[in-house]
Amino acid sequence: MKTLSSLPFRPSRPVGQLCLCPLFLGAFLCGGGAAQKPSPKKPRTPVVFWEASLDEALARSKRIGRPVLIAVHRLGGGAGRGMLDSVYPEPDILSLLREFVCVAACGEQTPPIETGPRKGMSAVFLTVTSDEHRAALAAVRKRYLGDEKIVAPQHLFVNAAGHTIEQEQGVLSTVAFASLLTKVLDGAAPGWRPEVPDAEGVADDGSDDGGVPWAGLFDKDESVRRRAVNRLVRQRNKSMVLTMYRQLGDPAGRALILERVRASKKLDWAGQLIRVGLSDKEPIVRDQAAVTAEVAGMPDLLPDLLGCLQKEKNDASRCELLRAIGACAGGDKAAIKVLSAALKSREDKIRLNALVAMVSVAEAAEEQLPQMISVLVKRGLKDRNADTRDAAIWGLGQLRAKKAIPAVEKMRGKIRSGRGRGRRRGRSRMLLEGALLRMQGREAPLWDRAKAGVVKDRIPR
């Protein structure tokens, strides 16, 4: 028989430990005195995220590379409901269940939740409706169980192709269920094992989180999700970040993981996470991935970035990709060709960001400096858009392009005599004067802030 010490985690409390609530203890000591009204319980985060159908579960399993757990329950019997109420909520079980794509299959009608954000969902299963878990049982019966009498509870494990890999019938203790889940994961998803912190771990705000940092990733409360992401990103086992990223259905959650990874400043491990983010179907996630690639500056990401730019239709996302390409390009000729082509775009913001990307190329590859300066002078300073011209001026100042001083001084005369709003012209003049100082080998006050005024990042770097 397996003991708790033989499992790959430390439970938050001994299995089967009894807790005497104050109400029961008081009644016992006082010989059955008047019962006090118990305080209302806080609503809990759903124990498990159940997929809406078997087909959706198989599709997600194929996408994220995790096995499917089909949990067949009969609620009329106390045994099946006992697992739902006492075994599944265990923090250590919950952390293992998060590694699966889960389907609840139950043929009984369950009452709906009547208020709150989950209104209409099953009051038992919380993330699916009664009709959905009943339809799931019909699909499971048709595909796996046939017309034979169903034993419940039972747990059926299948791979992304829908083939059965394990099956267990009957009620399972916490230890036995944890052993079963671990066995399936070890066989179906090698390398899955997370680094589970001590059960006494605390969240960033000091509150106890039961030692399961990723449970909060699925919470409706943004502050809870953010704390969970922060803890996830700090895990020494970085493969867990990608594992949990793939399980998040909410694009805002996936974007948040990329944002916090970028903020951590330690990005040498994040290449695969960025690649997955670049191929996301949601623009907000793709944009965060592109900005993270720009900050990381990894040359091996360049082929992925170039491929994504070819397919990207959203102009704002194309701008982020151009910046990332510039940061990862080094002296790559194919990347420089793509940036040069972007300077012919009709969209002002595309041309502006292509110029900023060329500055990154010149900073990383000194042999490209003359060519990039030439582009900034011949294309950037003559652009029809004032913001793009300012970007070219900033770029020349950033590169301390001494040979471009005559061209920039010529721009000074045009700005002084040109038309336009006074504030706009004043900003351009200040930028130009700072750029000239740097090009002359001197320091310009507040130059570090100049780029922010020119580029106006949508997403903070």
Instruction: Give residue-wise pLDDT tens across range 327-347.
Output: 999 889 999 999 999 999 999
What number is the average pLDDT over the span 199-215? 40
Considering the domain 4-188 in this protein, what is its CATH number? 3.40.30.10
**How far apart are the C-alpha atoms of 412 and 33, rounded to whole Å?**
90
Could you check whether the bond before residue 153 is cis, i.e. omega within 30 degrees of 0? Answer: yes
pLDDT of residue 226 exceeding 80: yes
Q: Reduced to 3 states, what is the DSSP secondary structure of residue 435?
A: helix
pLDDT of residue 201 exceeding 50: no
pLDDT at site 406: 92
User: What does the domain layout of the chain look like in residue ranges?
Assistant: 4-188
- Cβ distance 157 to 68 under 8 Å? yes
pLDDT at site 422: 52
Contacts (Cβ under 8 Å, ≥6 apart) of 97: 47, 48, 69, 88, 181
Q: Reduced to 3 states, what is the DSSP secondary structure of residue 436?
A: helix
| Tokens 């100049």 belong to residue | 450
Give the side-chain half-sphere CA count within 13 A for 360.
25
Query: Which region, left, alpha or beta, applies to residue 40 given φ > 0 means left and ψ of -120 to 50 means alpha?
Result: beta
What number is the average pLDDT over the span 36-53? 62
pLDDT of residue 195 exceeding 60: no
Task: Dump pLDDT digits (tens) for 70-113.
Answer: 999 988 755 557 788 888 888 888 888 988 999 999 999 999 98
The phi and psi torsions of 168 (rounded to 5 degrees) equal: -140, 130
pLDDT of residue 284 exceeding 90: yes
pLDDT at site 78: 55
What DSSP designation does 264 have?
A: T
105-119, 267-281, 371-385 — which is least confidently predicted?
105-119
**How far apart are the C-alpha atoms of 144 and 435, rounded to whole Å?**
71
Nearest to 64 by CA among 304, 218, 296, 249: 249
Strands 154-158 and 68-73: antiparallel
What number is the average pLDDT over the span 195-217? 43
pTM (2 d.p.): 0.57
Res. 423 pLDDT band, cuts 50 70 90: low
Q: What would you measure as the largest C-alpha separation in the chain, in angstroms?
A: 98
Res. 224 pLDDT band, cuts 50 70 90: confident
Task: Dump pLDDT digits (tens) for 232-256.
Answer: 888 777 877 887 887 787 899 999 9
Spell out a b/e string for 408-439, using b for 16 or more CB atoms within 10 Å of the CB, else e: beebbeebeeeeeeeeeeeebeebbebbbbbb
Partners of 104 in the β-ladder:
71
Q: Sign of dihedral through CA atoms 103, 169, 113, 90?
A: negative
Q: Which two tokens stand for residue 338?
A: 């793509």
Task: Dump pLDDT digits (tens) for 10-41.
Answer: 344 343 443 434 433 343 334 444 444 444 44
